[in-house]
């Protein structure tokens, strides 16, 4: 399939706002694409070059794309900047510049060819890499028609402005085969085990939905969507909903899924948002010696230790290692252990449908005594008072509290039902709210007074609603100078000239600068109120920054539905 043909479909999608019509266009596109091109089509129309878990990002800011356009079309950078300020869309600027130049010889390049060229540019590293990337993308733009240029110019920034999510693509795959969304849940379940829509789409294209999803199991090297906790306020309600439960400690660490295969020579570590952070953990090079299996996937919490105080380090200290260039130095200053609490795969055999207690017994048999992997303790009970007692005991030891798990439950990706729940009481949280909220920073205002030096006065935080982010609160107090400096350092590279399409905000809450949805922060607060101005419908009062959630992407932010649940819980307290 030619890239120009794909561009015509992308144009239709861009001009459509109806969710059902978008799904129909996508289904038609996926039906038309040959199997050998469908993976690349899935990635490219999502603004990526590969699945989320592969680090195939361009690392090219919007401002640099303007330089690329100037170089590609032989115009002054000031002209490109002026046009971008007027249009607010890099793709439209590229298309107009291409039309003005009126090139008569455009190559009819295939999707695979364009994808490969873009991938080569993204993988450039080392000295002079920025200049090479600029030249590489400029050369690609020179060779394509104006409409194709519109979409190729947007790819380095990761946003094709098409207005659909992976969930819409899953719906479209169902419509492609059966004409309805009836098999979307079946595809979604498979996607949560192997979250690579490119691979899944190719298998569906070749073998049909039933065959492609029937026996899908975890694969070493591809992260499984982790199982997440729901919220229940009281231990009595936990027992009522879950029956006899297992109570485990909740550490203030980094969620890490450890993948190992001796035959395939694979060792990977993934966060809960599917990012590959293997380079953070040189300690894991010996993990194969500590587990009596040739292939496995473990779920764990990486917990740092403060060597001077001989106490567990907090989350921010543990995460400091991630931002250090010198990992070996960090390894000495922040030694880690991995608190292992679950197993998903043993020697090609999935454990996800195996009951909780059986999975725990497997862990006892497989993990040998070692200094790196620590097996979590657990207590089986149906006594609400014992749950409260264990929670308080663990809190007094500096842990976050407890996780309560259904004794006979399987490992179900995502936040599904009442299989795992966390207990956070009002007196335990930093604010008075019964739980914290993980929000996405949508924008910020310029600082005043001493904050002028930071460049940030307040920041606007939103929560997730399907494919959108809706406002919840503004945060401007309770941050230290160091936190304001850290915030500025994180947000300045994400500033965008126009409001991202996925943001919905009241005009009175418009910040001085919008930022791309990448920084997630954990907030505490006094309470939630109904709000006519915040687009989520709720406002978080007296918000306080707890920490930066570097282990979460925007897609893992708290949802409006979860905010409502917290709001309802506070009404019954």
Which one-letter DSSP state was computed for residue 347?
A: T
Active site residue 250: yes
Instruction: Let me know the angle formed at the C-alpha of 109 by 107 and 114, rounded to the nearest 5 degrees.
Output: 120
Q: Match 């956070």 to its residue by tokens.
A: 424
Instruction: Give the bridge partners for 514, in sequence order.
Output: 443, 496
**How far apart (Å, rounded) are the C-alpha atoms in residues 300 and 247?**
16
Which one-letter DSSP state was computed for residue 291?
A: B
> 517, 412, 512: which is closest to 469 by C-alpha?
517
Q: Looking at 243-348, list the stretches that DSSP marks H as alpha helix, in order from N- to C-terminal side.
A: 287-290, 315-323, 327-333
**How far apart (Å, rounded) are the C-alpha atoms in residues 215 and 440?**
36
Instruction: Let me know the angle formed at the C-alpha of 335 by 330 and 341, rounded to the nearest 5 degrees.
Output: 125
**How far apart (Å, rounded) are the C-alpha atoms in residues 384 and 243?**
11
> How many other C-beta atoms are found inside a 10 Å radius of the C-beta of residue 347?
12
Which one-letter DSSP state was computed for residue 226?
A: P
Instruction: Let me know the angle formed at the C-alpha of 134 by 131 and 136, rounded to the nearest 5 degrees.
Output: 105
Query: What does residue 571 show for φ and ψ, rounded to 5 degrees?
Result: -70, -25
Note whether 424 and 433 are within 8 A (CB).
Answer: no
Instruction: Let me know the angle formed at the C-alpha of 154 by 515 and 466, rounded to the nearest 5 degrees.
Output: 55
Q: Which residue out of 250, 275, 424, 474 is catalytically annotated?
A: 250
Catalytic residue set:
250
């Amino acid at each position: 399939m030619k890239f120009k043909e794909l561009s015509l479909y992308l144009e239709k999608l861009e001009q459509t706002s109806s969710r059902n019509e978008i799904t129909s266009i996508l289904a038609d596109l996926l039906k038309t694409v040959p199997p050998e091109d469908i993976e690349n089509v899935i990635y490219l129309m999502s603004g990526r070059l590969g699945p989320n878990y592969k680090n195939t990002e361009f690392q090219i800011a919007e401002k640099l794309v303007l330089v690329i356009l100037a170089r590609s079309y032989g115009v002054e950078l000031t002209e490109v900047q002026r046009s971008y300020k007027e249009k607010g869309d890099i793709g439209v600027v590229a298309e107009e510049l291409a039309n003005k130049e009126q090139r008569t010889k455009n190559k009819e390049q295939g999707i695979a060819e364009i994808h490969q060229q873009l991938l080569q540019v993204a993988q450039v590293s080392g000295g002079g890499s920025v200049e090479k990337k600029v030249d590489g993308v400029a050369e690609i733009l020179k060779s394509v028609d104006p409409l194709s240029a519109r979409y190729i110019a947007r790819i380095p920034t990761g946003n094709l402005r098409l207005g659909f999510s992976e969930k819409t693509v899953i719906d479209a795959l169902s419509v492609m085969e059966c004409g309805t969304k009836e098999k979307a849940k079946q595809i979604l379940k498979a996607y949560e085990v192997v979250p690579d829509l490119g691979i899944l789409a190719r298998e569906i294209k070749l073998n049909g939905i039933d065959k492609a999803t029937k026996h899908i199991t975890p694969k070493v090297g591809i992260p499984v969507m982790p199982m997440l906790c729901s919220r229940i306020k009281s231990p009595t309600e936990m027992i009522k909903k879950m029956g006899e439960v297992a109570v485990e400690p909740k550490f203030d660490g980094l969620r890490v899924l450890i993948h190992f295969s001796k035959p395939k020579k694979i060792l990977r570590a993934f966060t809960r948002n599917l990012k590959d952070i293997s380079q953070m953990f040189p300690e894991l090079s010996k993990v194969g010696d500590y587990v009596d299996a040739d292939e496995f996937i473990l779920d764990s919490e990486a917990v740092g230790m403060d060597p001077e105080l001989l106490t567990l380090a907090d989350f921010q200290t543990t995460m400091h290692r991630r931002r250090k260039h010198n990992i070996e130095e960090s390894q000495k200053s922040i030694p880690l252990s991995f608190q292992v609490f679950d197993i998903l795969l043993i020697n090609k055999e999935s454990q996800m449908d195996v009951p909780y207690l059986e999975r725990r017994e497997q862990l006892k048999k497989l993990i040998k005594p070692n200094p790196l992997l620590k097996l979590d303790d657990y207590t089986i009970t149906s006594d609400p008072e014992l749950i409260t007692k264990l929670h308080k005991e663990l809190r007094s030891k500096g842990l976050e509290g407890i996780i309560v798990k259904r004794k006979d439950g399987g490992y179900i990706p995502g936040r599904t039902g009442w299989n795992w729940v966390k207990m956070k009481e009002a007196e335990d949280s930093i604010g008075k709210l019964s739980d914290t909220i993980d929000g996405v920073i949508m924008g910020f205002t310029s600082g005043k007074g001493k904050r002028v030096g930071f460049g940030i006065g307040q920041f606007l935080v939103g929560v997730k609603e399907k494919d959108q982010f809706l406002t919840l609160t503004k945060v401007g107090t309770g941050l230290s100078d160091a936190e304001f400096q850290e915030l500025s350092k994180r947000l300045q590279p994400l500033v965008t000239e126009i409001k991202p399409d996925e943001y919905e905000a009241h005009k009175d809450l418009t910040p001085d600068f919008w930022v791309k949805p990448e920084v997630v922060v954990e907030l505490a607060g006094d309470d939630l109120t109904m709000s006519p101005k915040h687009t989520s419908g709720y406002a978080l009062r007296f918000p306080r920054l707890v920490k930066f959630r570097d282990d979460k992407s925007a897609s893992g932010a708290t949802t409006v539905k979860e905010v409502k649940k917290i709001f309802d819980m506070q009404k019954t307290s």
